[in-house]
Amino acid sequence: MIFGDKTAQIERYAQKNKSVKLVAMLNDRKKDVRIKAIKALASIGDDTAVNNLIIMLHDPDKEIRMATIEGMAEMGNGVTKTHLQDYIEKEKDEELVAAAKHAIFNISKQVDPEEEMI
């Protein structure tokens, strides 16, 4: 399958909220496919997406971690906020820490305080 086909497939999965199908693409050998899958999962925002993006915060590739932070910010819920707060305590890369702090700030503006307690 060529790259263009995977991109179209990711878009179809995202439109149909098929987060389980997208999870398989998080391990693709092509970084662009992985990043598109992260963004698609973030747009779905279900439990499968959240749980797998939390795992992607620990990917060895900085670009993948950055895309994950941005995706988690887009989902904007209390769970992603909590995991990003934990993440900044462990991450050594200052650019990623700054992005995570910015994401936390933006999530804080979106999240209902009652939701954070869940």
Inter-residue contact 7 to 35 (CB < 8 Å): no
Q: Which of 37, 35, 90, 43 is nearest to 66 (CA)?
A: 35
Between 110 and 95, name the one with better pLDDT: 95
Inter-residue contact 108 to 81 (CB < 8 Å): yes
pLDDT for the residue 88 = 97
pLDDT level of residue 113 (50, 70, 90 thresholds): low
**What's this model's pTM, rounded to 2 decimal places?**
0.88
pLDDT for the residue 111 = 67
Extract the tokens encoding 107: 């999530």
pLDDT for the residue 118 = 46
Domains in the chain, CATH or no CATH each:
3-116 (1.25.10.10)
Inter-residue contact 31 to 64 (CB < 8 Å): yes
pLDDT for the residue 110 = 80
Distance CA 69, CA 67 (A): 5
For residue range 43-101, list pLDDT tens digits in order.
Answer: 999 999 999 999 999 999 999 999 999 999 999 889 999 999 999 999 999 999 999 99
Q: Give the DSSP H or E segment for 2.
A: none
